Amino acid sequence: MDIQQLYTNCLSEAAYFIASDGEAAVIDPLRDVDTYIKMAEEKGVKIKYIFETHFHADFVSGHVELAAKTGAPIIYGPDTQAGFKVHVAADGEEFMVGKLKIKALHTPGHTLESTCYLLHNEEGEPYCIFTGDTLFVGDVGRPDLFSGNLSKEDLAGMMYESLRDKIKPLNDNIIVYPAHGPGSSCGKNLGPDTFSTIGAQKATNYALQDMTAVEFIKTVTSGLSEPPVYFPVNARINKEGTDSLDSVFEKGLKPLTVNDFKKLAEDGAWILDTRHETIFTQGFVPDSISIGLNGRFAEFAGIIIPEGQSLVLVTEEGKEKETITRLARVGIDNVLGYLGGGYEAWVNAGETIDLIIDIEPDEFAMDYPHDDLLEVIDVRKPSEYESGHVKGAQNIPLDTLTDPLNVAMIDENANLYIHCAGGYRSVIAASILKKHGYHNLRNVLGGFSKIKQEKGILVVLPGAVEN
């Protein structure tokens, strides 16, 4: 028995590869499916099944393309309606992968078709369960993402029954393999680990504690933040199907001359620069949006880039294919090419450049009490802001900067000091503001984690009243 968790930090997503006796199954594959095909070849096994726990909202799955390349059927749980050929498993239906048995357990709640897969080992004993977004480490899937005409309360009620009837009766020693780990927006507050056991979750997961259905529904539906804007787009793509990744590469992996690059940008393509944020601020092509590959790239790309928006890329040399792959994972397929020779080619052609002023927190501390035009823009999430912030700071979360009305509320005559928690999101925000015509801005290096250590900067802590 060979079970591998393939974890992608950028998306907090876990796919799984299972092999036994010459056969294999893949659970919740990412769109770049050649990874699984290569694994099968290296292990000398044939992919027999592709299991999907539900229609994912936070990434585009590789189920359709993997099926086309391997001939393996796509398995979904009950109540599935898809725009491509699938095998809709019955609740309790069993599938053999080599000497392993995988049993489908219909667990609606996160979505109607949500299904967990209980794996029995070679001895026929329940060994682990792939829970998708039904059960996370320390949390459960949010019931407000892709529910058709049902309310979040309706789905939470289904989740209560699914956990009570299908999950809690399982043996404590069964390993829990969820679809997501910490940082995912598919739950409220996932724990730090990417796997656990049923016993540990019964002891520590709030959603598995004894409570009435009414109490559960209230608990699960309260405190939900707005889901990222690309979630419904990805859910629709996963239900209807999409173009192959090979065709996306064919269109996007094209080196562009400076002139061709400029022409596409003038015709409406956005310039996306994926270099590290500390490199970007030192010089970039004017009107570029910065989203560095070193952070939660795909998530922020999905949040910031409108559906269908054409793109041209500026990347580090050799990072072009990785960039296109990671964009495609969240359904961003309209890359028209990349700047051949990178940013250096732009500079060498004598083209105009732009930059963002970086300042250290101690310099910010010196400006803070004396600059009458100073305005602090905190682009962290509201929950982060409420946990502590610079007195007088305006909280404009990064995802809200996609709304021009929010941008228009920022004083264009102010000296803008922009920060996040550590420095990644603030550069994205600064690049967006630059694109909107704000140029009198500074990026505070190290973000709030460094700012709060500086003397002379007033920090408002939780529970305090800001005067």
Q: What is the DSSP string of 45-81?
A: -EEEEEE-SS--SSS-B-HHHHHHHH-PPEEE-TT--
**pLDDT at 465 exceeding the cut of 70:** no
Q: Are 343 and 284 in contact (CB under 8 A)?
A: yes
Nearest to 49 by CA among 15, 18, 83, 84: 18
Judging by DSSP bridges, how do beta strands 135-136 and 139-140 pair with one another?
Answer: antiparallel
Task: Tell the residue number behind the tokens 């967006």, with chain if given.
Answer: 432
Distance CA 443, CA 194 (A): 34
**pLDDT at 463 exceeding the cut of 80:** no
Q: Are 141 and 110 in contact (CB under 8 A)?
A: yes
Amino acid at 296: R
Q: Which CATH class is domain 243-348?
A: alpha beta
CATH homologous superfamily for the domain 2-233:
Ribonuclease Z/Hydroxyacylglutathione hydrolase-like (3.60.15.10)
Mean pLDDT, residues 326-345? 97
Mean pLDDT, residues 151-172? 96
Can you give the pTM of this predicted structure?
A: 0.93
CATH architecture of 357-460: 3-Layer(aba) Sandwich (3.40)
Task: Tell the residue number behind the tokens 């796509």, with chain if given.
Answer: 74
Banded pLDDT at 370 (limits 50, 70, 90): confident
Distance CA 26, CA 197 (A): 21
pLDDT at 297: 96
Q: What is the pLDDT of residues 44-93, one digit of tens each?
A: 999 999 999 999 999 999 999 999 999 999 999 999 999 999 999 999 99
Judging by DSSP bridges, how do beta strands 196-197 and 115-120 pair with one another?
Answer: unpaired
**Phi-psi bin for 256: left (phi > 0), alpha (psi -120 to 50), beta?**
beta
Query: What average pLDDT does the structure give for the chain?
Result: 95
Mean pLDDT, residues 197-220? 96
| Residue ranges covered by each domain of the chain | 2-233, 243-348, 357-460
Banded pLDDT at 226 (limits 50, 70, 90): confident
Distance CA 296, CA 458 (A): 30
pLDDT at 455: 84
Nearest to 458 by CA among 364, 323, 381, 372: 364
**pLDDT at 188 exceeding the cut of 70:** yes
**186-189 own/partner pairs: CB under 8 Å, 24+ apart:** 186/57, 186/58, 186/110, 186/133, 186/136, 186/141, 186/142, 186/145, 187/133, 187/136, 187/139, 187/140, 187/141, 187/142, 188/139, 188/142, 188/223, 188/224, 188/225, 189/138, 189/139
Same fold, 243-348 and 357-460: yes
**pLDDT at 346 exceeding the cut of 80:** yes
Q: What is the pLDDT of residues 253-284, one digit of tens each?
A: 999 999 999 999 999 999 999 999 999 999 99
pLDDT at 147: 67
Mean pLDDT, residues 120-142? 97
Instruction: Return the sign of the alpha-carbon dihedral for residues 386, 387, 392, 395.
Output: negative
The two three-digit tokens of residue 265, written as one number: 């940008």
pLDDT at 149: 81
pLDDT at 161: 97
Q: What is the pLDDT of residues 441-452, one digit of tens each?
A: 999 999 999 999
Strand blocks (E) in 198-304:
255-256, 270-273, 289-290
**pLDDT at 466 exceeding the cut of 80:** no
Distance CA 360, CA 364 (A): 7
Q: What share of the chain in percent tops pLDDT 90?
A: 88
The two three-digit tokens of residue 344, written as one number: 């250096």
Banded pLDDT at 175 (limits 50, 70, 90): very high
Which residues contact residue 362 at a Cβ distance below 8 angstroms, ignoring those fewer than 6 apart? 454
pLDDT at 461: 84
Q: How far is CA 376 from CA 291, 406, 418, in A?
A: 21, 15, 6
Mean pLDDT, residues 175-201? 94
**pLDDT at 467 exceeding the cut of 70:** no
